[in-house]
A and B are shown apart, each in its own frame.
Chain A
């Protein structure tokens, strides 16, 4: 167990990276998700179609594939004859030859992915508000966008706190996928330790516990927020 105790700080550095990526990505995810969710409910057919394509793509394909597309695929689009990257990927040279930092790629991939899930959460949240709320707002002379902003969204936000919290926790766990592109998040740190000490059971179990502490902390926090916000909601 000494191996583990001595290297806790090292693992925690990875945990901080995990948190950083999760928090930044969920922030962008919420912004993207707001657009995606409202887009899916738009009366404009084209907007609705584009929002649906976005949501379907990112929910309907493996996150790992999305990460690889962003990390290896995006730089290729910027020219530089990067096809050889894919050849080298197999033998692990890609990390040094890509044009996009692994951290940035992680943020982009996770933001886009979480935007799609959050979009569906918002859509469901908006649709769960009784239609009489919008009608009351309109009958007072509000425009449809005023009724969205002052009446529907504030209520929908309260209702989406629990599913948003779950989405965040799911994403936090999914960041472990980032080891494949070499981001030094929690799991990657564990792998590096293991390649030095060859104690996979102790090391990966510790990694798992650190994930568990983070996810449990957040789910308690979500429960608490939910109770706080629930005070003035009628169901």
Chain B
């Protein structure tokens, strides 16, 4: 079953056309990896999927709901689409638990003790049960990103979007975050990763999309695209990042 359906998506910032006609179907439960050079529009595409960016033209359907329609209740839709940012974006005035419970309390209207129970379970899942009361600035980058993942998971979204979740991390912290994400891939949730971790992409991806200059240039299963890319631009990009 298709959960996300993108047709003819265009996005411009002023005169700069960043997405130039994207068509994409994502199946429920699929692990999709998006790769491509910096500035090719990967983040913009991801941000259009939960409408942090408004599309200039085209359509985006999430589970049958047209997101670009005026009457669409975007906050409601976004409850089902979790997002993890390159820069974590934890709320600095809230501790780890509160970062996770705030949306449960204010958006879902959950009871406080129930929300806290869920937060603790999630912190345990990302290996941070001992940091429940810590504030973001008391945590390392890797720990912050794991709290951010737990925060997104708390809403029990149907899709999770990851925008270069390990790019801002010191090398020694990349592994712990990849480990958490690897765990998620075993759970049947739809996951879309923008990443430069090519080994991780090969390992967990059901399908890899290569973007360049606002277009999807090539897509295939990882074993094909990484060993035998057909497009010249894909080949040159991969030869640069895989060495």
Chain A residues packing against B (C-beta within 8 Å): 130, 132-133, 135-143, 146, 150-151, 154-155, 158, 232-234
Contacts and interface: CB of A to CB of B under 8 A. Distances in A.
Contact of B107 (A130, A133, A146, A234): A146
Given A140-B107, A142-B107, A232-B92, 12 more contacts: A130-B89, A133-B91, A135-B52, A136-B83, A138-B78, A139-B50, A140-B82, A140-B151, A141-B75, A151-B91, A155-B92, A234-B92
Among B52, B76, B82, B106, residue most surrounded by chain A Cβ atoms (within 10 Å): B106
A139 B91 contact: no
Name the 4 nearest CB pairs between A and B, nearest first: A141-B79, A140-B103, A136-B89, A132-B89
B191 to A, nearest CB: 15
B141 interface: no
A150 B106 CA distance: 9
Contacts of B32: none
A142 B103 contact: yes
Contacts of A132: 85, 87, 89
A154 B83 CA distance: 22
Interface string B38-71: 0000000000001010000000000000000000
Interface in B3-28: none
Interface of B: 50, 52, 74-76, 78-79, 81-83, 85, 87, 89-93, 102-103, 106-108, 135-137, 148, 151-152, 155
A141 B85 contact: no
Contacts of A151: 91, 102
Given A154-B93, A233-B92, A234-B137, A139 B75 contact: no
A232 B89 contact: no
Nearest to A136: B89
A139 B81 contact: yes
Contacts of A139: 50, 52, 78, 81-83, 152
- From A137, A141, A234, name the one whose CB has the most chain B CB atoms within 10 angstroms: A141
Nearest to B47: A135
Contacts of B85: 132, 135-136
Contacts of A150: 102, 106
Contacts of B78: 138-141
B75 A138 contact: yes
B241 to A, nearest CB: 25
B128 to A, nearest CB: 18
A138 to B, nearest CB: 6
A142 B83 contact: no
Contact of B106 (A146, A155, A158, A234): A146
A141 B93 contact: no
A139 B107 CA distance: 11
B89 A141 contact: no
Contacts of A143: 75
Give the one of B81, B89, B152 with max A CB within 10 A: B89
Nearest to B90: A136
Nearest to A140: B103
Given A132-B85, A232-B92, A141 B103 contact: yes
Nearest to B102: A150
A154 B99 CA distance: 14
29 contacts: A130-B87, A132-B87, A136-B85, A136-B89, A136-B90, A136-B91, A136-B148, A136-B151, A138-B78, A139-B83, A140-B79, A140-B103, A140-B107, A140-B151, A140-B155, A141-B75, A141-B79, A141-B107, A141-B155, A142-B75, A142-B107, A150-B102, A151-B91, A151-B102, A154-B93, A232-B92, A232-B137, A233-B137, A234-B136
